Structure 1
Amino acid sequence: MPVLEVEDLAVSFRQYSTGLRQTELKVIHGLHLSIEPGEITAVFGASGSGKSLLAHAVLGILPGNATVTGEIRFDGVPLTRERQETLRGREIALVPQSVNYLDPLMRVGKQVEASVCGASRSFRLNSVLEVFKRYKLGPDTAGKFPFQLSGGMARRVLVSTATLSGARLIIADEPTPGLDAEALAEALRLFKQLAQEGCAVMLISHDIEAALQIADKVAVFYAGTTVEVAAAGDFSGDGSRLRHPYTRALWNALPQNKFAPIPGVQPHPNAMPPGCLFAPRCSLATGECAAARPAVREIRGGKVSCLHVT
Structure 2
Amino acid sequence: MSALLELREKLRNIYSKGEVYITPFSKFLLSLIAFLCINANIGYMGKLNNTMIAIVLALIGSLLPLNLTVLICGGMVCAHLYALSLECGIVGAALIILMFVFYFRFSPGDSAIVLLLPICFGLKIPYVIPIAAGLLCTPLSVVSVACGTVAYYVITYFKENSQTIATLDAENAVAKFRFVIDGVLGNKEMFVTVIAFAAMVLVVYLLRRLSIDHSWTIGMVAGIIFGVVILLVGSTGFKTDISIGGLILGMIVSFLICKVLEFFMHNVNYSRTEYVQFEDDEYYYYVKAVPKNNVKREKKKVKKITSAV
For the aligned pair, the TM-score class normalised by the smaller chain equals under 0.3
Q: RCO (CA 8 Å, sep 6+): is it higher in 1 or 2?
A: 1
Determine which structure has the larger helix proportion and give its number: 2
- Normalising by structure 2, we get a TM-score of 0.25
- Normalising by structure 1, we get a TM-score of 0.25
